[in-house]
Amino acid sequence: MVELTIDGIKTRVSEGTTVLEAASEMGITIPTLCYYHGLSCYGECRVCLVEVVKGDRSSLEASCTLPVEQGQVILTDSEKARKARKVIVELLLASCPNSKTLQDMAANMGINKIRFKIKDRGCILCGRCVRYCKEQMKSGGIGFVGRGTSRRVATAFDVTPEECRNCGGCEWICPVCEKACMAESLIDGLCGGCQNLAPVETCLVCTGCSESVGPQGHRVYK
Amino acid sequence: MVNDYEKVKAIVDRYGGKHASVIAILQDVQSEYHYLPEHALRAVAGQLRLPLIQVCGVATFFKAFSLKPRGEHTVTVCLGTACHVRGAPAVLDEAKRQLGIEPGNTTDDMRFTLETVNCLGACALGPIVVVDDEYQGQMGPRKVKKVLNKYKKTPRDRRHAEIVVSS
Ligand code: SF4
Ligand code: SF4
Ligand code: SF4
Ligand code: FES
Ligand code: FES
């Protein structure tokens, strides 16, 4: 057993647990994107950054791949961590402005402008589809090809692979194609959460119509 | 193609069919064919019992691998900072003019492939042009023309011509 402190609360978890898992056992939610329950941890998106305090210094680490350590002090909701996550979601949105998952996340984090040049790439390279195909379907029909800016998800030689079982799982698990953001126009790269779609008069109480709306919810018009 | 399959099998066997050796295997396959033909990649994946896409992922990750047929000689012009300030762009221009192709391409007769690189770690000799494995330092437009002419005059490598045609 390892003892650590998350957001000021002491907890004991078994060795080999990740900080993300330890936090969620305590009911603390850390936003995640490339992490998916049942798939291996990949640590690509960095949305799950937390602050790890070491004496009077601190560093930012991806909680989904960070193993717990004895005496670790973690802050999941510090100013530093939140600021870093915001920049990351902004960057991800700049490359996938039509992802509803990302737009919701941005609305939830109170991002009000994308400061980066928007270039829709249709994929954030989170690798969820690739890991799903390999680990859950035991197929390995899709994978990453290329490197750097030309890295993309593809099938071998761009033909339907023999290994593919046509399960559709790769599309289902994708945070970009799974649910497209229906907003017609983006302002500063943002849709404004689902407020764009819901007429102001009707959205009096938040029914949580959007799955990924967190505890803060959206701004509800009165 | 049976012959080719055997060839690939021999290479894979040399490395004991280990997944970790995939890079070394691909290197050997590439030196056999001058590039990585699709059927060879399929054979490697089949032999190693890996999904084809994983082999493709490795093959497309490293710049040293090429999925397109390559010329008999690879001409690499360094465009790194040191070579650049010493006049590499003029050398590249001359090489392009001599071969009639843009970097990344191969001449129609499959003799030359032109490439650029950002620093070879031999800056003191810059501008550098590497033809196959030979480093040629202190290049200038005139000198590069001479070097290329030398290679143009060498007789064709029959084996290479056959490989490219047969694939
Ligand atoms: S549809 Fe094919 S490629 Fe996609 S996850 Fe299923 S098996 Fe893999
Ligand atoms: S296609 Fe979707 S799931 Fe796959 S890497 Fe890209 S964003 Fe992630
Ligand atoms: S109900 Fe809530 S989540 Fe849905 S549109 Fe209204 S404010 Fe947004
Ligand atoms: S969820 Fe941790 S890096 Fe993506
Ligand atoms: S810049 Fe050409 S070798 Fe370094």
pLDDT over 90 at A83, yes or no: yes
In this structure, the answer to whether residues A25 and A58 fall within a common structural domain is yes
Please report the atom of ligand 1 found closest to the CA of residue A163: 7
pTM of the model: 0.76
Q: How many whole angstroms separate alpha carbon B91 and alpha carbon B144?
A: 7
Q: For B141-145, which contacts have Cβ atoms below 8 Å and span 24 or more sequence positions?
A: B141/B90, B141/B91, B141/B93, B141/B94, B142/B94, B144/B91, B144/B94, B144/B95, B144/B98, B145/B94, B145/B98
Task: Give the confidence band of B165 by pLDDT, cuts at 50, 70, 90.
Answer: low
Q: Which structure tokens are listed for A1?
A: 């057993």
Task: Give the confidence band of A205 by pLDDT, cuts at 50, 70, 90.
Answer: very low
Task: Give the confidence band of B108 by pLDDT, cuts at 50, 70, 90.
Answer: confident
pLDDT at A13: 94
Task: Give the confidence band of A3 by pLDDT, cuts at 50, 70, 90.
Answer: very high
Each residue's pLDDT tens digit, A105-128: 888 888 888 899 988 888 899 999
Contacts of A163 in chain B (CB under 8 A): 51-52
CATH of the domain at A57: 3.10.20.740
In this structure, the answer to whether residues A50 and A6 fall within a common structural domain is yes
Q: For A156-162, which contacts have Cβ atoms below 8 Å and span 24 or more sequence positions?
A: A156/B41, A156/B51, A156/B52, A156/B53, A156/B55, A156/B56, A157/B38, A157/B52, A157/B56, A161/B51, A161/B52, A161/B53
Instruction: Kindly determine whether residue B52 and residue A154, on different chains, have CB atoms separated by under 8 Å.
Output: no
- A75: helix, strand or coil: strand
Greater pLDDT, A208 or B27: B27
Say if CB A98 and CB A50 are below 8 A apart: no
Write down the CATH number for the domain with range B73-159: 3.40.30.10
Which residue range forms the structural domain that includes residue A111? 82-120+177-196
The amino acid sitting at A123 is: C
pLDDT over 50 at B158, yes or no: yes
Could you state, in order of their start, the residue ranges of all structural domains in chain B?
Answer: 2-61, 73-159
Share of chain B above pLDDT 70, in %: 92
The number of folded domains in chain A is: 3
Q: Which residue among A128, A142, A158, A173 has the greatest number of ligand 1 atoms within 8 angstroms of its CB, and so is best to mutate?
A: A142
Q: Which ipTM was obtained for this model?
A: 0.71
Provide the pairing of β-strand A2-6 with A73-75.
Answer: parallel
CATH of the domain at A146: 3.30.70.20
Each residue's pLDDT tens digit, B8-37: 888 988 998 888 899 999 999 988 888 899
In this structure, the answer to whether residues A132 and A164 fall within a common structural domain is yes
